[in-house]
Structure 1
């Protein structure tokens, strides 16, 4: 009898822990980032948290973060894309060739590369949605084919040097005054959105949180924004790739939460057959999700080429692992139908922090791969364990 009661209490405690972790997963990730930063700061005697290194860290994170913005939509829709690393390398190589060999002006270069990324993404989506080839196989084939095309067009050689205007996309910094203006704009936006949320809840007769709670939330957002900009301005300013990532965060968060297309992505991943029977063109949704992924690969390829000031035939290698891991770490479910853009970017920050910190400590490449692979498996295990029994 006693053992039965203990077993019941243990199951109840486990369920409570799972529910608590699921509800505050993002908070747990932020605490994990704080622990990672504290550990590397201790081991590097403060070198990890200097403004210069944090600026480099965020710039390094931008490539994985851009890929994660597209990958999270693909996974929410119940699919996977293993070709993103090779596609990033191919599109970055095309950008370098157009810049170095053909001397195309930057706007035309950007247009052509982004268009090519969209077309290749739509091609992957067509094979998956309309030809009914499993996305895993489409991605695996693309991983090999795109890398082969990249090696072919570059001859296996690095294409360099790219022009200074292209380099600015990956290495440039914004003036300090722009950073201050950005803080003001984002703080006012957070204030307006919080007030709008309170008004909407009151209009629909839903419980409205105490005013002091929302005031503390907005104050914390303002403090984080101010610390973020002051830290980066104390070095050279906000890196251009970081600004691009912030813009994508806002855009994709709006699409996934405020548009019909965004709701359909979640619906397709949650229950594709029910969504189809309700009149939604499931194939079209999946087609355009892969198209968006192709555009994100193009943006990431441009930023990566600009950051390296060259197009390398090895660019994007293992990029798909970082992007997928960032999504899973950030709370995106491998089953589809669940995930957030900001969660994926926090996951990308976790991966970039580990890469940066282990590189500063001169940890062997094989250990870095072991750690990243283990974290990916841990993230999936957490997803499975916290959702089991639902």
Structure 2
């Protein structure tokens, strides 16, 4: 009598599955580390200096802010090709208000100039974005056509607003939002680093408690502790790097001379966290909460997953489209504020090719062009990778046309890798 075959033991879950590690995120972090190490070797150690990492962070902010909005646009199966042109229009609005309009009304140097100019730029962006969303959602014009038209229209609207001229000088309070002119110093940076570290620990622990409450499987305690340690190490390490970048002596001398003082012997200051980077951090937190914790976020991802089912379930997908593009326009205005303040003037070529960089950042960060899938942190990491490549190539001496060739090729490669990944994991392509 033959014995029945023994039942095979269930397959032991892999370490990645046990720890719930996002392999796509791990791959992006690995790519970023490789890029940094390669360029650091090629540039004889100049790439990973505090000065370059400081500049890299403030140069990333503008594209990263818009990339967070592009996630929602692509998740709902749309595209926005007009973000660079819309940024230029918002920048023109803020430039005209600061240089030509408000000083004559409020007086030169009035503290109201900067906030009113910012409000005007944000409002212009939100209204133009809402108009794009109305054309797409209610008039059923494809987003590709609407925003392709916007790519041509809005940049030239900005050109006519300024008569093709560069606008400056900008309000001194406004310049604080650009990066170099506005930082919070060493002490403020350490305090914020500690607060953000505590917030990261609390968020990880709260997520674990929520899973236990709903009887979902959780990671081992040592894995949670390791994740907390990595998060705190990354935050405090970033703060330490920025706090090691000292203000040049020449600039300190000029600042002391402007106050009628003499620079003390041996005196030094560090930059610390730029205000523009703090703006990006708060945008990232707000957009993540919007995506994961609000009804609007659930509607966005439900519509991207299956638009017909979402509409049949009672979601007003037309108004949802208006809201998404209005949000995208608002973020373009915010990016215009940061970019203009960093450049210290408004130029008519501001934001040129940003539509390529923003879409590439979102796609490299794992946002599926088929809709329904995307993360805010992935888009920001994608923007950092893009800027690292461009900054590294600029330091090596690669000219701008070839840099754009590399960025375009990287976008195609990222989509191809995304398709292959989804085929292997069984996700929709």
Contact 1:83 1:320 in 2 (8 A): yes
| Aligned-residue offset at 1:208 | 2.5
Moved over 3 A (4+): none
Which residue among 330, 334, 340 is the counterpart of 1:305?
A: 340
| Corresponding residue of 1:220 | 230
1:387 positional shift: 2.0
Query: Pick from 178, 198, 203: which aligns with 2:208?
Result: 198
- Aligned pair partner of 2:115 in 107, 111, 115: 107
Q: Which runs of structure 2 are paired with 1:232-271 in the superposition (5 Å)?
A: 232-235=242-245, 236-271=271-306
Matched, 1:336 2:371: yes
- Residue matched to 2:258: none
Pick one of 166, 172, 191 that aligns with 1:164. Answer: 172
The yes-or-no answer on 1:350 pairing with 2:350 is: no
Does 362-371 or 102-111 show the bigger shift? Answer: 102-111
Distance 1:23 1:61 in 2: 23
CA separation in 2, counterparts of 1:74 and 1:177?
Answer: 39
TM value normalised by structure 2? 0.84
Equivalent residue pairs, number: 369
Q: Residue 120 in 1 paired to residue 128 in 2?
A: yes
Output one character per residue of 1:171-223: Cα deviation in whole Å (capped at 9) or x when no partner. 31112111111111111112212221222122222222211110111011111
Q: CA deviation at 1:23?
A: 4.5
Give yes or no for contact 2:134–2:322 (8 Å, CA) kept in 1. yes
Question: For the aligned residues, what is the CA RMSD?
Answer: 1.2
User: Partners in 2 of 1:35 and 1:93 — Cα distance?
Assistant: 38
Q: 1:314 aligns with which of 341, 349, 353?
A: 349
Matches within 5 A, 1:7-18: none
Matched residues in 1 for 2:91 and 2:241: separation?
A: 30
For normalisation by structure 1, the TM-score amounts to 0.93
Aligned to 2:96: 97
Give the whole-Å Cα distance in 2 for the aligned partners of 1:224 and 1:333.
Answer: 27
The counterpart of 1:360, out of the listed 392, 395, 403, is 395
Q: 1:87: Cα distance to partner?
A: 0.5
